[in-house]
Amino acid sequence: MSKKRAKELFDNGILKNIQAGTFEGLKEIHRYLFQECYGTAGEVWKHDIRKGDTVFCRAMYLEDNLKTVSKMPENTFEEIVEKYVEMNIMHPFYEGNGRTTRIWIDQMLIKRLGMCMNCENISRNDYLSAMKRSVVNDLELKFLLKENLTKDVESRDIFMNEINQSYEYENMRKYDVKELEISNELEKISE
């Protein structure tokens, strides 16, 4: 369901109405993507969470820190990636943070630089390693992302490939966004 919702974000122009670079915008993306998946879609967690050996922002500091991250500058590529890294450390939702923030960073890149990521050539291992190390030093992540920017921000194929790649990063390969499109077309034909 969340992949279908991601497709709708692009196809229905919903992303154009979401405030890029703010936590409110991030919440809107999360709520839209996961509205059928989680009863907590778009809601900030209330307890400390961790993923493996990574501990995210403590719940008692989360609300204030989210305000601070929202106010971070996003005028250059470097500032956008720094903001993205900080939001990743916040990890404000119980599930779906990575998939949501990857759409969020693209919206900042589009709005500020007229570019977006083309993640097709970024392997899962390279991306996850760079993200894990970005907490200490974001240089590797900046290099990885900068090498994979495109000015083709209106390309539906690039957006859909990025959605598929984003789910690949999370080990969720079951459905291809393009296959979802075929099944939707078959439903229309059968009606």
Whether pLDDT at 68 is above 60: yes
Q: What is the pLDDT of residue 174?
A: 58
State the pLDDT at residue 186. 41
Task: Report the share of the chain in percent with pLDDT over 90.
Answer: 69
Question: Residue 41 has what pLDDT?
Answer: 94
pLDDT tier, 185 (very low <50, low <70, confident <90, very high otherwise) = very low
Q: What is the reported pLDDT for 181?
A: 59
Q: Quote the tokens at residue 62.
A: 């989360």
Domain ranges across the chain: 2-190
* Predicted model pTM: 0.87
Model confidence pLDDT, tens digit, residues 106-159: 999 999 999 999 988 899 999 999 999 999 999 999 999 999 999 999 999 999
Identify the CATH assignment for 2-190 out of 1.10.3290.10, 3.40.630.40, 3.40.430.10, 2.30.36.70. 1.10.3290.10
Average pLDDT value for residue range 50-76: 92
């999370």: which residue's tokens? Answer: 170
Question: Is residue 150 helix, strand or coil?
Answer: strand
**Whether pLDDT at 169 is above 90:** no
* Spatial contact of 174 and 131, defined as CB atoms under 8 Å apart: no
Region 184-188: mean pLDDT is 46
Model pLDDT, residue 34: 95
| Cβ proximity of 58 and 48 under 8 Å | yes
